[in-house]
A and B are shown apart, each in its own frame.
Chain A
Amino acid sequence: MNAIIISALWGVLMMYTGFMTSAKRTVSLVAIIGVVLVFVANWLEYLGLSFVNMDMMGMLQFNTFGLVFNGIILFSTLIYFLLSSTEIEKSSHTPSDLYALMFFVLSGISVIAGFQSLLMLFIGIEIISIPLYVLAGSDKSNLKSNEAALKYFLMGAFSTGLMLMGIALLYGSSGSFSLEGVAAGVGVLTPMRASGMVLLLASMSFKVSAAPFHFWTPDVYEGSPTVYTSFMATVVKSAAFFAFLKLFESAFGEVHGEWQMLVAVIAALTLIIGNITAVFQQSVKRMLSYSSIAQAGFMMLGVFALNTYAKQGMILYFAAYSLATIALFAVLAKLKDHSIEALNGFAKQHPVVAFSVLISLLSLAGIPLTAGFFAKYYMLLAVLKYAELLWLALVAILSAAISVYYYFRLIQAIYFREPAAESELDFSGFFKVVMVFNAILILVLGIHPDWLIKLIY
């Protein structure tokens, strides 16, 4: 509750900052202070200190799982602001508006962290989505950005329609919007209830870009300005996955066996399509969007398994995936040319940044000693509890092996190729410090994942 209030208020404050000062640096500073405050407020709630005590009528309820998830999201946003604030300043004449939109997204994510009713799920997803349509189209004169915004908007609104129909059918059959109410009636799967559930599954798959519903993702991620792609692909995708996991765990957990096979097929398709298409990409940005589809496939395994390992793995996956992808996109946003050749010899020119990028890539590929390894390990462990579905674990391992190929292609370009021309890139000392800090975090999580996991108990 703390995080919702402070992030919404800070969003309004950010809009006024645009009137108060024209110095873009100050605006970024206010945003960074804001996200730190929201993080601290969320932390205080985790420790049991809530700023407001009101009766939520069973609409919202925050447990430690939700609060830890929200903490990870807020921390990733902090890293994102620290690394990308100069790019956000460059992307618009009035960066204060864009920061305000991002704070509204954060407040929507905080609603998602504690939803107990389908109404709150709908409101949360919409508060997240609507500002994102604007962010995707923030480069107004660029046709690709226009296209990304339109595509994202039409797909988002369409999937919202599907979700609402699902909610209406569930309400019709159970007479309640609360997760417990829906779960209580779900034991007998009537046709109306089943179609409501499938519609919700489809719309959530749209939001997390899982396989048959992923076709909008590459265009939207490639067309949007790179800084906002980073935000969409990490923070927002994690939030959508949290909503997916919580909805299917609390509302449809009892009929797990009925829909498990459906999710297994979606997860396998997502893994295969994401990884195989990523291999053929020439643009790093487009490759990273396919890689984000592939990583979504791994997170789908958590939704598939719904056991203790899955919950722990999801938390680790959110942290590992967000930190690594934010670092990669922060470097990519500074490059003008997004082809793989543009990275040739990057290590010779910028050894410190290249090392952090290396750690991020290794983490995404799931190499031991990085956070990504344990994230994938927990997901596989969760799936292996279902011995009859061994093929799913095999598909996951095979596609992780494929993913090593295209991540290592980047590493090869960075470390083993000669630079074509003198680099005109200049990374500030602060940027390097944050990148190294981020790499250290990934390594620490790779050695001690228990430090993060034990927070949810």
Chain B
Amino acid sequence: MPVIPVNYYIFFSVALFSIGIVGVLTRRNAIIIFMCIELMLNAVNILLVAFSKMHHVNAYVLDRATTVGTEAQLFVFFIMVVAAAEVTVGLAIIVMLFRNIHSVDINFLNRLKH
């Protein structure tokens, strides 16, 4: 079975990450911005797992009992947990905003200020 080289994973996750960044910078809906941030975090997760496998395979050739590469997969779990905590707080903030101005458009907020 042919193995997908790690470069493919790097390009894939950098592309996802860039879509996320462009979304954060251009969209005006708080929920969409929020989704784009999640996209950025998940691009990192994919990249970390790919690197974990890459480092593991490299070390496995030399030593069958190696644990090299496992720490990146642990890191992915931490990112997931932290992202969940962030979603909790972030959605609460957006709901609080929606209660006050009945909109989640961030331009609306700027108009109110002046």
Contacts from A to B (Cβ < 8 Å): 119, 122-123, 126, 130, 133-134, 137, 140-141, 143-144, 146-147, 149-150, 153-154, 157-158, 160-162, 164-165, 167-169, 171-172, 175-177
Contacts and interface: CB of A to CB of B under 8 A. Distances in A.
By DSSP majority rule, is chain A's interface helix, strand, loop, or mixed? helix
A454 B48 CA distance: 42
A2 to B, nearest CB: 23
Contacts of A143: 100-101, 109, 112-113
A122 B96 contact: no
B44 A137 contact: no
A168 B48 contact: yes
B37 A161 contact: yes
B47 A172 contact: yes
Closest 6 pairs (CB-CB, A-B)? A161-B40, A172-B51, A164-B44, A168-B47, A157-B37, A175-B55
Given A150-B109, A157-B86, A137 B71 contact: no
Interface in B15-70: 17, 20-21, 24, 30, 33-34, 37, 40-41, 43-44, 47-48, 51, 54-55, 68-69
Contacts of A157: 34, 37, 86, 90
Contact of A158 (B10, B24, B106, B113): B24
Contacts of B72: 171, 177
B101 A153 contact: no
A147 B111 CA distance: 11
Given A144-B113, A171-B51, A177-B75, A150 B41 contact: no
B47 to A, nearest CB: 5
B81 to A, nearest CB: 9
Q: How large is the interface on B (under 10, 10 to 19, 20 to 34, 35 or more residues)?
A: 35 or more
Interface in B86-114: 86, 89-90, 92-94, 96-97, 100-101, 106, 109, 112-113
A140 B94 CA distance: 11
A126 B24 CA distance: 19
A134 B96 CA distance: 11
B13 to A, nearest CB: 8
B78 A119 contact: yes
Nearest to A137: B93
B85 A130 contact: yes
A153 B93 contact: yes
Nearest to A222: B113
B82 A122 contact: yes
B97 A165 contact: no
A165 B37 contact: no
B44 A130 contact: no
Contacts of B55: 175
B15 to A, nearest CB: 12
Contact of B85 (A126, A158, A176): A126
